Amino acid sequence: MALGKVPYLLRDIATYAGQATPSMKVDAHGLTAMTLANAAANPIVTQEVPGDGTDREVRIKKRQRLTKLQTSASAATCDHVLTPARSEETITIDSVISTALYLKDSLLAQYERESMKNQPVGTLNGVSKELVEIMYSAANGLLKGLNDALWAKVAYGKNVVSGTSTYVTLNLPQAVGTQPLTSGMSKLLYDYQRNSLTGRPQAVGTGLFHAYALTQPYKFVDSFGANSSMAMASLDFWPDEDLPSKSGASADSLVVFEPGSIQLIERLEYTGDFGGTRPGASEFGVVKIPVNVNGRIALVKFDVQLKYFDCDTTLTDLYTGSQTIYSKGYALIMKKDYNLWQLPSDSYDHMDPKRSVNGALAYTITNS
């Protein structure tokens, strides 16, 4: 362990980024991809200084806007005032997702020898390629699990048009001879404005709306003079096959978010003083895995630990739960500590018509 393997892994991951082989394809699923790609939704990091590993308490301050009921139609007076209250919300990390893989002692020994040799820039061979593929594969599983877990945390706000926070039916009409103003893209964009949501709508869904989105680049003006492809161009769509697993959702669900109203929170433990080789034959660090986000590459960070077993060790299989005796080798442990933040439901005053609006609107798509 004296040479340190994590720095070599970091180098090799960067070298192999963007390869087209299936084992190298790491996909961020719709909801996770949206939080990673949205310029207003970069992950909130709970470290005092990025990279030093020291925890900090993150607080978000908010102040409710006034309503008409908090104004007066009489002459201005010094005798009646309002105190502009401000509240704070503390952001915490409450979840973790991890995986662990066993690596033979001989595999890492060969990797260390290969890493010391001069290799042509942009190429990986032998064990170097194998190890990077293993880490990419692990990252793919972690991101799938992360996406499922994030959906379980998502809360839908009130839709002031329907007056509820439940799924609203949104029909994408088959007929093109009339202009329906209470369905299709007209209703989606109308609801968005009525709820005072700003920026480009971020739509995450599957099923019928996914199929609808795929057809829009080939559409032209309908018989009543509207071009649905132009309406579709006013939002960003993120396909997500995991949405139907959320309670209340269906195979044709769609959720529309306001940019910045939902953000990923993360904590990287193995940075700064908490990285490097530690007593007990373990090495700690942070790896950046290139992830495909709707055709763009985003770097997703994971904590990684290489733990050495110098004797035969009984380990439990994460998938089957069975126990097996492993010979000398390493456990490659990857994890991400995280949480999900959304605009609080009390961001608006209790007398405000937008009370309970949190920037998330839920729909069930039909096509009749």
The pLDDT tens digits for 290-327 are 888 877 778 889 999 988 888 888 888 877 888 888 88
Helix (H, G, I), strand (E, B) or coil at 216: helix
User: What is the overall mean pLDDT for the chain?
Assistant: 80
- Averaged pLDDT for residues 221-246: 84
Single-letter residue type at 278 = R
Give pTM, 2 decimals: 0.81
> What pLDDT, on a 0 to 100 scale, did the predictor assign at position 49?
47
Is the pLDDT confidence value at 15 over 60? Answer: no
Cβ count near 225 (within 10 Å) = 7
- Averaged pLDDT for residues 258-285: 80
Residue 40: pLDDT band (50, 70, 90) is very low
> What pLDDT, on a 0 to 100 scale, did the predictor assign at position 57?
65
Return contacts of 277-285, CB within 8 angstroms, 24+ apart. Answer: 277/1, 277/4, 281/1, 281/307, 281/308, 281/310, 282/306, 282/307, 282/308, 283/1, 283/4, 283/5, 283/6, 284/6, 285/6, 285/7, 285/9, 285/10
- Averaged pLDDT for residues 46-73: 63
Is the pLDDT confidence value at 20 over 50? Answer: no
- Averaged pLDDT for residues 1-8: 49
What is the distance of C-alpha 140 from the center of its chain? 13
The predicted-structure confidence for 162-179, as pLDDT tens digits, reads as follows: 999 999 999 998 876 666
Name the nearest CA neighbour of 89 among 348, 342, 352.
342
Residue 280: pLDDT band (50, 70, 90) is low
Highest mean pLDDT among 73-77, 81-85, 172-176, 208-212: 208-212
Rounded CA separation 208/185 (Å)? 13
Is the pLDDT confidence value at 112 over 50? Answer: yes
Domains of the chain with CATH codes = 6-56+96-153+265-342 (no CATH), 168-262+346-366 (3.30.2320)
Residue 121: pLDDT band (50, 70, 90) is very low
Is the pLDDT confidence value at 117 over 70? Answer: no
Residue 235: pLDDT band (50, 70, 90) is very high
- Averaged pLDDT for residues 141-157: 95
Residue 337: pLDDT band (50, 70, 90) is very high
Asked if 184 and 172 count as a contact pair (C-beta separation under 8 A), the reply is yes
Q: Strands 282-293 and 296-309: what pairing? A: antiparallel
> What pLDDT, on a 0 to 100 scale, did the predictor assign at position 143?
94
Q: Strands 58-63 and 86-91: what pairing? A: antiparallel
Asked if 104 and 298 count as a contact pair (C-beta separation under 8 A), the reply is no
Residue 46: pLDDT band (50, 70, 90) is low
Is the pLDDT confidence value at 120 over 60? Answer: no
Is the pLDDT confidence value at 208 over 80? Answer: yes
